[in-house]
Structure 1
C-alpha cells in the first residue's frame, strides 16, 4: 500500500471516529429569579460547534424534570442528551423546578416557578447564548411533573413557546389530591378546589385554538398516568386541536423517558424547520 493511500485511509478513519463521538458541551449555570429572590441551577447543553468562531444561532429546547428530580436529573440519567444536542443542533436547557409542578402558587409567594421557567429563564438564555430568540424556535417538554409543566407553561405562555411535548405527563392533577406535593402550591383540594380546576392542564387546554402550538403527547401503556393522557387526547380531538399522540409499551421509568426523548427533539426540529 502506498504512503498516500495509507494516509488517506487513516485520516478517513479518524474523521469517521470524530463524527461518531461529537457531543454537546454540558454546563451548569446559576440563573437569578427576581420573582423568588434566589438563584437556581440549570444545565445548559450547547452543540459541539457552538464555541467555534461562527455566529450561528440555535433553537432552544427546555426539558423539565419530574417530581423528586432536579436540574441534573436528565443529563445524569440520559447522558446521550449531549450527543442529541449536537445531532439536532439545539441548545437544551434543563432547569430546576424543585417539586413545584411549575406553578406560581396562589398561596405561597416563594413558589414562582411558572414565572421562572416561562419568563425569566428564556430571557436569561436569550441574553447569554446565541439562541434564536422567538417563539418559533423555542420548545418545551418534560417527564411526569415536567410533562404537566411543559404543556401548562406552553399553553399559558404561547408568546414564548411555539411547541410543547409531554412524556408520561400528569396532565390532570385532580385525581391525585394527596400526591407529589401538589397541595403545597395549590392548597388542599377539598378546600381549594378552584385552584386545582384552574391549574390542571386538561382544563387549561380549553383556551387553546388550533394551530397555536405544535403538540406531542405520549405515555407508556403501563403508566399510572395513561388514563389522564387518554382523556386529554380525547379532549383535544373534540376541540379539533391538531396534535401528535402516542402510546408505547412502557411504564413510569427512565427506560421509557430516555428511550423516547429523541422523538421529541426530532418532532421539534421539524417544527423549527417550518
Structure 2
C-alpha cells in the first residue's frame, strides 16, 4: 500500500476513536451525589440517578416508614431522594424499587447477603455495642467445608476472638443461627456479631469465644415451598448437616474446648426453631441455649385456630423429663418483642419447657421481628455464656 493510502486509513481510524466521536456515543455523565449520607443527627438520605424512571421507592424492613416502600422525590437532574430519621444507631438493609424493579444502591459498595438476594447496607454510628471501636478486633472468616449429608461444599462464617491467630489456647464455641431467607453472612453483616463480640470481650463482659454462623438454608427457599426446597425438608437437612458435618469440622479444625460446659447454641426465628431441634435432640452436648423471636412452630395451633401441635413435645419427652440430663443445662434464654408475630409461639414454648421443670430466662421486649431486637439479644445473651469456667 502506498504511503498516502496508509495515512488516509490512519486518519479515518483516528477520527472514529477521537474523544469528540466517543463523547457523542456516550450517555451524559450523571451529576455528583452521595448515597447513603448519614448526618450527625442520625438522619439518612438515600439517592439514586434514574432520570427516565416514573416512580422510585426506598424499601427497608427496619428503617422507619420504609417497610412497604417510601416514595422518593425526583430532582431536575434525575436524582431521586428520600430521607428518614433520626434512626436508632445500628445497621440497616435497604434497596430501591425503580418502576417495579428492585435494585441495590449503585453508589454504595456495602452489602448484606441473604439466601436468594443481596441488600445494600448502611451503618448509623452511635451504638455502644455494635460500633467499630478502638479495641482489639477478632476476625470473621468465610469458611467452606465438605457436607457429606448434602454431597456438596457448604459455607459458614466463623468469628475468632482477638489473639486467636497467635495459636495459643483453646476457646469455648458458640453456634449462632440466622432466620428464614437470610444466609450465613447475615449475623456478621447486618447482625454486627463480630463487632459486638469485640466490644463485649474488650469490656470484660464476655469471655473470648469462637462464634460459628452456619448457613441455615440447604437450598433456594420461599415461604410455602414454591420455587425451592420445602421448609420442613430444609429443617431436617440442616440438622443432619449440622450434626454430622459442620460441628465435627469445627471441632477438628479449630481450637475449641469440645465439651458441654463450653458449647452453646442460639438462633433467631427459623434459627431459633433449629436451635431447639439441635439442642434438645443432643442435650448432653449443650450447656446453654438461646431462642430469639421464636419457639416450637405450631405449638399454638394453626393460624385459623385448632388444637396446639404437641408433636415436638412428644418427640422430646424423654429428654425434657430426664433430670440427670438437665443438670448440665446451665442456661435456657428466650427473647421476643411484644409486637413480634411469633410472640405467642415464644411464650407457649417457654411455658411448655417450664412444665417439664426446665428453668427458663424469658425477656419480652419492645419492638417486633427485627434486627434491632436480635442484635440486642446477642448483647444480653453472650455475656451469660461460659462464665466461671
Using structure 2 for the length normalisation, give the TM-score.
0.54
Gaps of 5+ in 1: 1-17, 179-195
Corresponding residue for residue 89 of structure 1: 208
* Change in 2 beyond 3 A, CA 1:25/1:165: same
Contact 2:281 2:316 in 1 (8 A): no
Gaps of 5+ in 2: 1-131, 202-206, 222-229, 304-308
Corresponding residue for residue 98 of structure 1: 217
Displacement of 1:211: 2.7
Displacement of 1:26: 0.7
Cα RMSD after superposing both structures: 3.0
Q: Which has the higher helix share?
A: 1
Q: Which has the higher strand share?
A: 2
Corresponding residue for residue 31 of structure 1: 145
* Change in 2 beyond 3 A, CA 1:243/1:211: farther
Contact 1:68 1:99 in 2 (8 A): no
Displacement of 1:257: 0.4
Corresponding residue for residue 168 of structure 1: 293
Of 315, 328, 345, the match for 1:228: 345
Displacement of 1:241: 1.1
The answer to whether the aligner puts 1:72 opposite 2:72 as a matched pair is: no
User: RCO greater where, 1 or 2, for CA within 8 Å and sep 6 or more?
Assistant: 1
3-state SS in 2 of match to 1:139: strand
* Change in 2 beyond 3 A, CA 1:241/1:163: same
What is the total number of aligned residue pairs between the two structures?
233
The answer to whether the aligner puts 1:127 opposite 2:252 as a matched pair is: yes
Contact 2:299 2:349 in 1 (8 A): no
Instruction: List, as ranges, runs of 4+ consecutive aligned residues in structure 1 with deviation greater than 6 Å.
Output: none
Contact 2:335 2:377 in 1 (8 A): no
Larger CA Rg, structure 1 vs 2: 2
C-alpha separation in 2, matches of 1:164 and 1:77? 22
Corresponding residue for residue 192 of structure 1: none
* Change in 2 beyond 3 A, CA 1:120/1:85: farther
The answer to whether the aligner puts 1:264 opposite 2:389 as a matched pair is: no
Corresponding residue for residue 327 of structure 2: 211
Using structure 1 for the length normalisation, give the TM-score.
0.75
3-state SS in 2 of match to 1:76: coil
- CA deviation vs aligned residue, 1:95-130 (integer Å, no higher than 9, x gap): 0011689xxx9x859952112123321110111111
